[in-house]
Structure 1
């Protein structure tokens, strides 16, 4: 069977020297722009406590301290701690890749706590509105993962499988298609699930659609409901998608549970505890306006 061979240039425009405009950077930019536009709209309607004119600055700060810093430190702790112990400077080598979505969640939550206290906003209001936009950022990010040929899926013989030359350490421009086909025939490379696209569709666009629907419901108007619902939805989606994704560092817990599934399960438990703590699981809290 002639499988699709990944052959996409991750660089959109070459600039000066090593500088280049990459699809990965554009994906992050698109996610942040989408968040800014949605949050400005909700701020204008009085649904988001951050003033409309301050939304852009809010997103820039959240992107750096929450997404990037939290995501990088999370990756080092959850997936690359051995590398960090061997070389502490590993934490700064972001050009080698390595961002953790679970670490990003922790970073964003800590940032929102700080920002809410500093500016006298409701943490739950900030979290609920951010949760409704986060999935778009994940969707664009996973699409960029596919363009880069990273975080590929498990081996499969499905007709839509993709061959990633990156599996053999090859990158765009370092191979020709006939040679890759021969490596597939020899068993050096394996057709794999394009799990990045699965994750973009499910963890990204599908969860985003659910969040927009929840936002219109009575449940979604409870303080904290959207933020916690998003964490639950994402965690279940991530657990499901991990069955198609090649496990990070081929590491498992309990023999068959991937790190992504384990951390997502912990997220579900923690989120349910938070939902009970703030009272949104109680029926008599429908009209209660808790400010945290």
Structure 2
């Protein structure tokens, strides 16, 4: 037991009450993430210095359609991913609970699949290269992850394992034991650190090699998520697996493999003769 623990900053989960309609921090996190991502994508496609001469890419106007496609994919895929990956038996018995997203339950890996489908539909309808579209989205995705993890912290949910580190916190719904603020670890690694890496790569010419930023996102997120899972308390029913593994670890491994394959494809494609 540590000599002291940091007090958990209890925040009302409802940010604003508009009559009978509560506006929750969780919803604002999604809105803020999408707005910042939209601004970031428009900034990337408008800077000619980031692209090879004549390299096809979406227009600034096209980004408006792209953010709608990916937002719908993230929300629908994230919810269905939680239902199918983590607790299908419960939702099969309580199907109306599937639509009650305000109670929580969004899976990143499901949201990623939904976003990929949205990007593919956009690329097909606008005649844009899919890997280029994916690179633009990957470069700004950590912004949304950052806001989402902060929302997990405010709620609070997805807290960490018991610990005696000096920065441990007591999360009221989890009992009196001090725990890792693992949501903040994920916000820092999956959000800020990954965004800084991908943005630097993009600004250094990475967008001229279609697939490079996308592959680095897969590798970076996968390793960051697996690392943070060692500090996060898994749900004993939905997330805990044998041998100390968690569902988050298992779902992140294919992401690392796919990311590495896309990076290799991107680099080999660049070095091949025209």
In the superposition, the TM-score normalised over structure 2's length comes to 0.88
**Corresponding residue SS for 2:23:** strand
1:88-126: per-residue Cα shift (whole Å, max 9, x none)? 333222122100011111111111111111111110111
Equivalence for 1:36:
38
Equivalent residue number for residue 173 of structure 1: none
Q: Residues 194 and 166 from structure 1, CA distance in 2 versus in 1: closer, same or farther, beyond 3 angstroms?
A: same
Match 1:270 to one of 251, 258, 265: 258
- Partner in structure 2 of residue 126 of structure 1: 133
Q: Which stretch shifts more, 232-241 or 53-62?
A: 53-62
1:275–1:2 CA distance, 2 compared to 1 (3 A): closer
d(CA) in 1 for partners of 2:153, 2:173 = 11
Q: 1:149 to 1:287 in 2, by over 3 A?
A: same
On the 8 A contact 1:5/1:163 being kept in 2, the answer is yes
**What's 2:249 paired with?**
261
Instruction: Determine the structure 2 residue equivalent to 1:137.
Output: 144
Instruction: Specify the alignment match of 2:212 in structure 1.
Output: 225
Equivalent residues, number: 264
Q: CA deviation at 1:73?
A: 0.7
Whether the 8 Å contact between 2:78 and 2:109 is mirrored in structure 1 is yes
2:83 is equivalent to residue 76 of structure 1: yes
How does 1:119-198 map onto structure 2 within 5 Å? 119-167=126-174, 188-198=175-185
Contact 2:226 2:249 (8 Å CA) reproduced: yes
Structure 1: gaps (5+ residues)? 168-187
Partner of 1:27: 29
User: 3-state SS of the aligned residue for 2:243?
Assistant: coil
Q: 1:90 to 1:25 in 2, by over 3 A?
A: closer
Tell whether the 8 Å contact from 2:225 to 2:249 is kept in structure 1 after alignment. yes
Aligned-partner Cα distance in 1 for 2:207–2:252: 22
What is the CA deviation profile of residues 187-242 of structure 1, one whole-angstrom value per residue up to 9, with x for unaligned ones? Answer: x4211111111110111000000001211345553111111110110000000011
Q: Who wins on radius of gyration, i.e. which is larger?
A: 1
Residues 214 and 259 of structure 2 are in contact (CA less than 8 Å); yes or no, is this contact kept in structure 1?
A: no
Q: Is the 8 A contact 2:217 2:259 kept in 1?
A: no
Report the TM-score, using the length of structure 1 for normalisation.
Answer: 0.83
| Consecutive unaligned residues in structure 2, runs of 5 or more | none
- The one-character-per-residue Cα deviations of 1:120-152 (angstroms, maximum 9, x if unpaired) are 111011100110000011001111111111111
Tell me the equivalent position of 2:124.
117
Matches of 1:248 and 1:235 in 2, distance apart?
Answer: 20
- After superposition, the C-alpha distances for 1:69-102 in whole angstroms (9 at most, x for unaligned) are 0101111111111212322333222122100011
2:159 partner SS = coil
Conservation of the 8 A alpha-carbon contact between 1:138 and 1:200: yes
